[in-house]
């Protein structure tokens, strides 16, 4: 068979899959479309809920939408009291967007309905079939150029906590020369999380790419109004994919959902990449103190974000 004929056949297979998947998504979102919002409007609400301080241009770029259409949708959201706008610190011509309390109250049931529908679809498959489906979707995204989304977030499984201790200890020893004191600290944090875990207030996310764990983060309860972000980690093989930002965003989303009023974290000034992530997510540096730990002279930092 000639190359052009083979390509034509493959194009037909891709188009057939597209028609199938479009029908499948149409069934899943039938309930959402019975609300006052179109599917595209729900997608915009989703972006605003998961990525703090987006601009209109960011939404156009993320979703591939026309700027005029996005502007009209956002004006409608603002009129309904779903979003607020604040001038961007880096570009006064742009406005950063955030959901209001009413916006969150509107978004949550839509998101929960969508989640329930997808869960119901997955429950029709066996565990190996579910895993195969998710991996296949990741491969499609990766092959078609969506490398930044070619990973998934999931709950911890057996063995993940040991992996977290191992990988973080190895990374910080290799990149920063930290000694076994740090490995002991990680092990203590993880052990405390496992022993005292309260699912109402706490959560761990594992980032997985092509079947391998490439990142993790924890949210733990500091007190009734304060959450604490702990042990953010992104494997060197996954840097540049947006894994770290996504993990931080999930922490913020969860903290808001359960009713925390602020979120804090402790880090060290030498961890510049992590600090940039926190600053981009809206955290502010509130305290610094020199200390000698892990075999090094360091500057510890406390960062905080109001929710």
Q: Is the pLDDT of residue 14 over 90?
A: no
d(CA 208, CA 154): 8
Q: For the whole model, what pTM was predicted? A: 0.56
Comparing 80 with 27, the larger pLDDT belongs to 80
For position 190, what pLDDT does the model report? 96
pLDDT of residue 259: 92
Residue scoring higher pLDDT (40 or 226)? 226
Q: To which CATH superfamily is domain 152-306 assigned?
A: Gcn5-related N-acetyltransferase (GNAT) (3.40.630.30)
| Residue 247 pLDDT exceeds 90 | yes
Q: Is the pLDDT of residue 164 over 80?
A: yes
Backbone φ, ψ for residue 5 (5° rounding): -65, -40
pLDDT over 90, % of the chain: 46
146: pLDDT strictly greater than 80: no
Class of domain 3-146: mainly alpha
Q: Is the pLDDT of residue 30 over 60?
A: no
Evaluate whether 278 touches 181 at the Cβ level (below 8 Å): no
Delimit the domains of the chain by residue range. 3-146, 152-306
pLDDT at 33: 52
Distance CA 205, CA 156 (A): 7
Residue 305 near residue 283, CB atoms below 8 Å:
yes
Q: What is the mean pLDDT of the chain?
A: 86
pLDDT top residue among 16 and 252: 252
pLDDT at 303: 97
Q: How far is CA 285 from the centre of its chain?
A: 22
Domains 3-146 and 152-306 share a fold: no
- Which long-range CB contacts under 8 A does 184-188 form with residues at least 24 apart? 185/294, 186/231
Per residue in 204-220, pLDDT (tens digit) is 999 988 778 899 999 99
């Amino acid at each position: 068979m000639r190359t052009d004929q083979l390509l034509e056949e493959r194009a037909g297979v891709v188009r057939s899959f597209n028609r199938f998947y479009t029908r499948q998504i149409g069934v899943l979102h039938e309930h959402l479309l019975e609300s006052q919002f179109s599917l595209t409007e729900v997608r915009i609400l989703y972006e605003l809920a998961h990525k703090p301080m987006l601009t209109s241009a960011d939404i156009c770029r993320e979703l591939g939408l026309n700027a005029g259409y996005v502007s009209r949708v956002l004006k409608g959201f603002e009129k309904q009291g779903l979003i607020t706008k604040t001038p961007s610190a880096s570009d006064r011509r742009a406005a950063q967007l955030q959901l209001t309390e009413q916006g969150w109250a509107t978004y949550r049931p839509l998101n929960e309905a969508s989640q329930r529908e997808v869960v119901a679809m997955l429950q029709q498959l066996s565990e190996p079939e579910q895993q195969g489906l998710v991996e296949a979707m990741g491969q499609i995204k990766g092959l078609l150029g969506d490398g930044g989304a070619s990973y998934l977030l999931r709950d911890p499984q057996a063995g993940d906590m040991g992996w977290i201790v191992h990988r973080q200890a190895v990374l910080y020893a290799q990149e920063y020369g930290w000694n076994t004191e740090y490995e002991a600290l990680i092990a203590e944090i993880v052990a405390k999380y496992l022993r005292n875990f309260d699912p109402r207030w706490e959560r761990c996310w594992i980032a997985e790419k092509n079947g391998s764990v490439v990142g993790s983060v924890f949210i733990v309860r500091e007190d009734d109004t304060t959450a604490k972000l702990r042990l953010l980690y992104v494997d060197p093989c996954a840097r540049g994919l947006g894994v770290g930002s996504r993990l931080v965003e999930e922490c913020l989303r969860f903290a808001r959902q359960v009713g925390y009023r602020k979120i804090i974290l402790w880090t060290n000034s030498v961890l510049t990449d992590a600090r940039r992530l926190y600053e981009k997510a809206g955290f502010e540096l509130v305290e610094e103190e020199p200390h000698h730990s892990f075999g090094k002279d360091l500057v510890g930092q406390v960062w905080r974000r109001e929710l």
